[in-house]
Structure 1
Amino acid sequence: MQTTFVLTIVVGAPVVAALSLFAPPLETWGQRAEFAVRVGALVWLCTATGVYLYARRTESGVETEEADAAEAEAEA
Structure 2
Amino acid sequence: MTRDEIQSKILAILTEDFEFEHPGPDDNLRDDHGFDSIDAIELLSKIETSILGFTLTRAEKEKAMAIRTINDILGYIEEIKNSRTS
TM-score range, shorter chain: 0.3 to 0.5
Higher RCO (CA-CA < 8 Å; seq separation 6+): 1
The structure richer in helix per residue is: 1
Q: TM-score, normalised by structure 2?
A: 0.31
Q: TM-score, normalised by structure 1?
A: 0.35
Larger Rg: 1
